[in-house]
Amino acid sequence: MNHPLIAELESLLAIRSVRVELKIMDNYDLPAGITFLISLKALIVKDGKILLLKNSNPENAEKPWELPGGLVEVAEELEQGLKREVVEETGMTISVGSLIEAHAGYYEKFTVKNGTTFKVRLIVITYQCTYLSGSLKISHEHSDGGFFSSKEITQIKISPHNFPALQTFLASH
């Protein structure tokens, strides 16, 4: 059974995108140097096992295993962004299914390609996805990857941003 807030978020996310005019929000305070980012993650099951990738960034060395996915581009639909990220990181194509879980995290220091650093409120949205085609090809962002059983997943160090979705999914399967 989905939590009512997850069901509400899922219905809101069903609206692919809405373009609105810029509007002044004098009741909302977003301090300078803070931004929101959206990370989309794909929980891909194939032959009863879940695809995980080992992040090669040394900052993630303590808990490096994660679901494929990444940041959505500004002008990108959510589903399109998730499919793009999965192809980039794995070489595989997927179809995007239902929302599994969404949560927020916070980074005191988040640096983007051009060297700009922000404080970031990271919104992580995980969808259950279906494997369609392709063989696993690990990107430069990862050092390893593979499909893991639920028992194997309990033996490896999962990224804290991916743990809630895996926990939700495994509890219901």
pLDDT value, residue 153: 94
Domain extent for 47: 4-171
* Domain total of the chain: 1
Distance separating alpha carbons of residues 142 and 57, to the nearest angstrom: 8
Distance separating alpha carbons of residues 160 and 118, to the nearest angstrom: 20
pLDDT value, residue 15: 47
CATH of the domain at 58: 3.90.79.10
Q: How much is the pTM? A: 0.81
Beta strand extents in the chain (DSSP E only): 34-46, 49-55, 65-66, 69-71, 93-111, 117-133, 142-148
Q: Which two tokens stand for residue 3?
A: 């939590």
Chain segment 96-142, per-residue pLDDT in tens: 999 999 999 888 888 888 988 889 999 999 999 999 999 999 999 99
